[in-house]
Chains A and B, each alone.
Chain A
């Protein structure tokens, strides 16, 4: 579907044979990974802890530098880019929100525009716009502090903060991991809608294959620093990789049981 539309355009994010190791080479976090993310695509990178998925994400906005290989954003080698400017034009949603506890909701959302030197009223207007976008009541939430919000609200603010400076690319690091299943589902759906509406290019890191299947256009599976498989959910489901098959077991079993427990006609 979307993939066919964008396949010919240059990729928004491109990793080419990227290596990254830690601890003086003892831990190989990313091992020869090549991966492209097309414009408008929502790519989910799936893997367990220590699979290198978060490292891969951090390489994109130079929170980490690659040992070897190339990382390009919109066709430009990130090594040639000013890392600060790069991060200001890429939105990032962090695990559990990572909101600044000493700043209000408005202060958190408006941080990147503030760093970019936007005028005060433009920031205020943008904050209100974003609160609407992530479906938080403006008046009620604007001047609250992070500790006064629920987990779901906090992550909505985290999404709003990432979108504040109108980035074309959004990186999400296990954004919904710490939330209860209902909140998580609602937030995922809301974000998917935003992604489409704002024509974003999104990379979403998750350890949950079900979440990836439900939200992403394409899925990349990482294991021990290597990229095992990538493709649409349908393509990935045909993978011959034992690890991928193992990952897919859980959603398959759940789908079967849910199908049996909740027959279509019973719901009508």
Chain B
């Protein structure tokens, strides 16, 4: 089978208008905002050495913050601001998706524009500035009629750099809820669908390249004082923007938004929810790849309308209950906490996806390890791997306290790589997920937790406050709770992790579990 006959390409292309449109929209807004701030600042700071130094070092520091972190930082910042504005003026705004992405990317675009504008203006021949004053120009006229036009090619070069950076970094705005070409990359990475990852990278690179070349054309036009080139570049750019924005604007707005976190199971469940809504005649879109801490707040502020979370996660991380509790206690607490936020708990899906310490069956048997208690003695010579959040979660603190665990090394890994790493012996033990299909695939074993240090993680279906009383939505999703057991979910996860699209997996899953 040729590479291009792969059905995943078709899936990828189907999402292109939406992802590309959103990507261009957020990049364009960020760049426009960045320019609107940077250009006047550069002009203002040019003859003020202190301000100039402060500004350039600030922009330089911003540049050193990893893009993902910068984007992530803007989310809680805006959340706090939105709450403040809501209490002060009675007007709130969404801290989710577009706004934090635009602000963070705008900040990211500042350095090249600031630096090139200042450099470009500095490079204007002082004799020409004197001539401009000599023929009777005011300070402002010197700037607008002589200095800026002469510095324009250098400024354009800065804008080009900024545009490429912004378009590239915008792929990282997916986890804070902004749809972008990054959706391909994050989804592909989670479901080990390398076709999708490749597609996302190529699309972002092509977009950046096209914009860069068109801006280069304008820049050359300005440099050579060729109006034709500059106009051609401008036209090309306008056409590109129109072509990418129009299809996504023309698309019908969906009534419901389904959320999904950043791992395979969540993609499958989101697809399942979307299919259930579609079956009930309701239109829905999915915002996938959302960060674990972003997604609940997004639901609470009705930026998304439904998603599946896990009881223990919310109980410990979101609502900060200390210590340990039984399964029923956790659910009871949770219902109370959710009700306070206006969030509806529609029901438990039927399986639990808890953290669990996992190791190869053969190794466990050879060393006589059956439970975490057996592990404690050997831990000091072992390496453990967990996902990016595990070691900072309360469960890990509980585990260490309950069993006196201390490992030689703790490593963080992309969840889907952990299983292969433990199977190959690169690490000795991993903090995996009970519902993960890879446990069966690699013949791993889940260690018992006799002291119940890890709280229960029942998958629960949540609805946003906005749709709390929405009978159509409730009716569409009502058949779901209680239908999917751990075996069914593991099988689905395994399938989704080995190349099938979440959509197809969700369809097959429903065929298997639907009420007859």
Binding site for B on A (CB under 8 A): 61, 63, 84-85, 87-88, 92, 94-96, 98-102, 111-112, 115-116, 145, 161, 165
Q: For the complex, what is the distance from the CA of A67 to the CA of B127, rounded to whole Å?
A: 23
Contact of A92 among B125, B128, B135 (CB under 8 A): B135
From residue 105 to 158 of chain B, which have CB atoms closer than 8 A to chain A? 125, 127-128, 130-138, 141, 146, 149-150
Query: Interface residues of B, CB < 8 Å — how many?
Result: 17
> 13 A-B pairs, CB-CB below 8 angstroms?
A63-B133, A84-B136, A84-B137, A87-B133, A87-B136, A88-B136, A94-B127, A100-B132, A102-B225, A115-B135, A115-B136, A115-B141, A116-B136
Whether the Cβ atoms of A115 and B137 lie closer than 8 Å is yes
Write the chain A residue with the least CB distance to B222: A102
Known A-B contacts: A63-B133, A96-B127, A100-B132. Give 7 more (CB < 8 A). Answer: A84-B137, A87-B133, A98-B127, A98-B130, A102-B150, A116-B136, A145-B225
Cβ of A100 to closest chain B Cβ, rounded Å: 6
B56-91 interface code vs A (CB 8 A; 1 in, 0 out): 000000000000000000000000000000000000
Write the chain B residue with the least CB distance to A161: B135
The residues of B that contact A95 with a CB separation of less than 8 Å are 127
The residues of B that contact A92 with a CB separation of less than 8 Å are 131, 134-135
Whether the Cβ atoms of A94 and B134 lie closer than 8 Å is yes
Candidate in B134, B141, B150 with the most chain A CB atoms within 10 angstroms? B134
Whether the Cβ atoms of A94 and B136 lie closer than 8 Å is no
Write the chain B residue with the least CB distance to A85: B136
Whether the Cβ atoms of A87 and B130 lie closer than 8 Å is no
Contact of A111 among B130, B135, B150, B225 (CB under 8 A): B135
Cβ of B222 to closest chain A Cβ, rounded Å: 9
Binding site for A on B (CB under 8 A): 125, 127-128, 130-138, 141, 146, 149-150, 225
Write the chain A residue with the least CB distance to B126: A98
Whether the Cβ atoms of B136 and A100 lie closer than 8 Å is no
The residues of A that contact B137 with a CB separation of less than 8 Å are 84, 115
Q: For the complex, what is the distance from the CA of A84 to the CA of B134, rounded to whole Å?
A: 9
Cβ of A149 to closest chain B Cβ, rounded Å: 14
Write the chain B residue with the least CB distance to A89: B136
The residues of A that contact B125 with a CB separation of less than 8 Å are 98
The residues of A that contact B130 with a CB separation of less than 8 Å are 63, 94, 98
Cβ of B400 to closest chain A Cβ, rounded Å: 68
Write the chain B residue with the least CB distance to A104: B225
Whether the Cβ atoms of B127 and A100 lie closer than 8 Å is no
Q: For the complex, what is the distance from the CA of A61 to the CA of B133, rounded to whole Å?
A: 10
Whether the Cβ atoms of A87 and B135 lie closer than 8 Å is yes
Candidate in B132, B133, B136 with the most chain A CB atoms within 10 angstroms? B136
The residues of B that contact A63 with a CB separation of less than 8 Å are 130, 133-134
The residues of B that contact A88 with a CB separation of less than 8 Å are 135-136
The residues of A that contact B131 with a CB separation of less than 8 Å are 92, 94, 98-100
Cβ of B229 to closest chain A Cβ, rounded Å: 15
The residues of A that contact B149 with a CB separation of less than 8 Å are 102
Q: For the complex, what is the distance from the CA of A165 to the CA of B134, rounded to whole Å?
A: 13
The residues of B that contact A102 with a CB separation of less than 8 Å are 146, 149-150, 225
Q: For the complex, what is the distance from the CA of A85 to the CA of B133, rounded to whole Å?
A: 11
Write the chain A residue with the least CB distance to B127: A98
Q: For the complex, what is the distance from the CA of A119 to the CA of B331, rounded to whole Å?
A: 81
Write the chain A residue with the least CB distance to B152: A102
The residues of B that contact A94 with a CB separation of less than 8 Å are 127, 130-131, 134
The residues of B that contact A161 with a CB separation of less than 8 Å are 135
**Which 5 pairs across A and B sit closest by C-beta, in order of nearness?**
A88-B136, A98-B131, A87-B136, A92-B134, A102-B149
Q: For the complex, what is the distance from the CA of A98 to the CA of B133, rounded to whole Å?
A: 12
Cβ of A70 to closest chain B Cβ, rounded Å: 21
Whether the Cβ atoms of B146 and A100 lie closer than 8 Å is yes
Candidate in B127, B135, B141, B146 with the most chain A CB atoms within 10 angstroms? B135
Whether the Cβ atoms of A98 and B128 lie closer than 8 Å is yes
Cβ of B132 to closest chain A Cβ, rounded Å: 7
Write the chain A residue with the least CB distance to B128: A98
The residues of A that contact B128 with a CB separation of less than 8 Å are 98, 100-101
Q: For the complex, what is the distance from the CA of A95 to the CA of B132, rounded to whole Å?
A: 13
Write the chain B residue with the least CB distance to A62: B133
Q: For the complex, what is the distance from the CA of A101 to the CA of B150, rounded to whole Å?
A: 8
Q: For the complex, what is the distance from the CA of A88 to the CA of B141, rounded to whole Å?
A: 13
Cβ of B219 to closest chain A Cβ, rounded Å: 14
The residues of B that contact A87 with a CB separation of less than 8 Å are 133-136
